[in-house]
Amino acid sequence: MNMKKKSIYFLFLNFGLSSCLAFFLASCASTGEKESVNQAPKPAPTQTPEKKASSAGESKSNSRPLNPASVSSGLPESVNKNTEPEAQEVGSPAEEVYALYQEAQNALEKGDLDEALNLLDEAYAALLKIQASPESPLYQEKHDLRILIVQKIQQVYAFRLPPPGNNHKTIPLTENSWVLAEIKSFQTVERKFFEEAYRRSGLYRGMIAEQMKKMGLPEELSWLPLIESGFYPRALSRARALGLWQFIASTGYRYGLKRDKFIDERMDPLKSTQAAIKYLTELHDFFGDWTTAIAAYNCGEIRVQNEIRAQRIDYLDNFWDLFANLPYETARYVPRFIATLLIIENPEKYGFNLPAPDPAITYETVKLSKPTKLSVLSSKLGLSSEILISLNPELRHDSTPNYEYELRVPAGYGDKVLACLNELPNWIPPDVVFGWHIVKKGDTLGLIAHRYHTSVQAIVRLNNLRSATLIYPGQKLKIPGQNQGLLAANDEGNPPTASSSGSQSNQNKVITYVVKAGDTLFQIAKNYGVSIEKIKKDNQLSNDILAIGQKLIIKLD
């Protein structure tokens, strides 16, 4: 599996143990209440390199094998009694969720915990796309499915080995050849990255260290985001790990991070830090030392546990005996973290003159319960929109949700927000649950999946393809998710007609396209059926030069 799995994959070793998680979802509808003053950082969006997670492999322990008969599907009674997912009502919005859930159940019965959790993650993502009013029967069905999926994830975590008796509390700063190699990298090719990440750390690390101390964790762990995300709260890896702590969706949900149409709390510095503390605490309780826990944070518990069993070593006495056989990224991850601590502890020794950390920004919170575009509110307040966006990085559309939300505003601006609250128009976010890609000569599903940060399996499933190789030029493929750079689907699920004169399905469509390596205005205009001059006019471009990561507005009219 080519993605980083930050999930606790506890093996099913002690039958009879089980656990369930009760989830309580609540929302409020009041508005206009101002909250207390706090400290917050100013984030900036970026994209981190892809983190690759290795497959779990087979356990070589003496643990008992998983008994399929002991694993209940957990489906509601109406579904579980001789009712397969395909027997559900054809066209039901929940049909895909049921199908993915059943695939996860099948994987679980085979003992493939990694695949089961991956499918459950896909099922939850599909569930989020289902729109249902509180009066609709589908609303309760969606709620039940949400609990069902989480309980199944809990089942994956239900059986675990007892923690080792020796409880190592510190992080040993071993200066060996692997650590020295990472120090050398930071001194040379990665020097600019290290210094910039250190500068940004001032925005967040005070808060992180305070949370670590409060929960009894070593404060040194507050430097993990430097190698995870460079201290960018909107850092996104190609494996779709997100935020300061680089959580994937299922692990974020496991540790209480909310994710819906409006917000993704993996990008919230405080909430994601609290989730990371819970995760790291569980890892330390499981393995008994911080060095191994940090390795597992990167590549997953099951891989680390497999290596411990395969090598039959006392990793508590010598982590570096275990380290050599871990995935390449993890084989760098732990030394990189130790190298970071050594440099920060004594920068002069390693030839660094580190910049002053950026100061945290003082803010206060105001409760809003209407969807409001931050750019509109900023204009009313006389602020740059970037200030509010940086204070509220978890807002996916740079807009407040249509339910109660505590918006961070610069200290002293709370009363001004309350004063203009009734003048702010409601903002409706785009509701695209999939986009379209028109196959070109030379395209393969692998290339298409890589381009849109999804999987071949997801594209095959969404398009009911019989083979991953039988695609042809001109074919229109649905691509899961609101991927930037896709042709957006209309409300009926049809692709827009790419013609300069426009059509009913195209009218008033506005797409944000993010420029990628190799893009030209000519190719972008051709893909969307608009003229180069129109794109230049709509984006106030004086020439044809584009920058990677640049956002272009494409108006399909």
236-283 confidence digits (pLDDT tens): 887 788 999 999 888 888 899 998 888 999 999 999 999 999 999 999
pLDDT value, residue 465: 80
Structural element, H or E, at residue 377:
helix 374-381
Using CA atoms, how far apart are residues 422 and 279, in angstroms rounded to an integer? 41
pTM above threshold 0.85:
no
Question: 366: which strand partners?
Answer: 34, 407
Residues paired with residue 408 on neighbouring β-strands, in sequence order: 365
154 domain-assigned: no
Are 442 and 536 found together in one domain?
A: yes
Same domain, 213 and 328: yes
Q: Give residue 419's domain range.
A: 361-423
For 181-200, the pLDDT digits (tens) are 999 999 999 999 999 999 99
Q: What is the CATH number of the domain that holds 522?
A: 3.10.350.10
Task: Identify whether the C-beta of residue 556 lies closer than 8 Å to the C-beta of residue 502.
Answer: yes
DSSP 507: T
> Is residue 409 a part of any domain in this protein?
yes
- Active-site residues, by number, are 228
Q: Could you tell me if residue 257 is inside a domain?
A: yes
Instruction: Name the token pair of 124.
Output: 């939850």
Q: Judge if 416 and 446 occupy the same domain.
A: no
Q: Is residue 312 part of a domain?
A: yes
Q: Output the domain CATH number for residue 289.
A: 1.10.530.10
412 lies in the same domain as 284: no
Q: 467 and 407 share a domain?
A: no
Q: Give the pair of three-digit tokens for residue 14.
A: 């002690």
Task: Identify the pLDDT of residue 233.
Answer: 93
The top-scoring range by mean pLDDT among 15-29, 67-81, 290-304 is 290-304
Tell me the residue type at 326: L
pLDDT digits (tens, 9 = 90+) for 452-462: 777 777 788 77
Given a cut of 80, whether residue 33 has pLDDT beyond it is no
Whether residue 331 sits in one domain with residue 186: yes
Residues 195 and 343 in one domain: yes
Does residue 551 fall inside a structural domain?
Answer: yes
Q: Is the alpha carbon torsion for 266, 271, 275, 281 positive or negative?
A: positive
How many domains are there within the chain?
3
d(CA 223, CA 225): 6
Confidence of residue 232 (pLDDT cuts 50, 70, 90): very high
User: Is the confidence at residue 77, as pLDDT, over 70?
Assistant: no
CB count within 10 Å of CB 457 equals 14
Which residue from 195, 214, 491 is spatially nearest to 356, judged by alpha carbons?
A: 195
Q: Provide the H-helix boundaries in 300-409.
A: 301-311, 319-323, 328-345, 374-381, 385-391
In this structure, the answer to whether residues 411 and 547 fall within a common structural domain is no
419 and 440 belong to one structural domain: no
Asked whether residue 381 falls in the same domain as residue 294, the answer is no
The CA-CA-CA angle for residues 96, 67, 72, to 5°, reads 40
Select from 391, 423, 455 the last residue of a domain: 423
Last residue of a domain, one of 295, 329, 350: 350
Specify if 272 maps to a domain.
yes
Looking at the structure, do residues 217 and 294 belong to the same domain, yes or no? yes
Structural domain ending residue among the three candidates 423, 454, 475: 423
Residue 337 lies in a domain: yes
Q: What is the spatial distance between Cα 285 and Cα 400, in angstroms, rounded to a whole number?
A: 38
Examine residue 541 and state whether it is found in any structural domain, yes or no. Answer: yes
Shared domain check, 481 and 379 = no
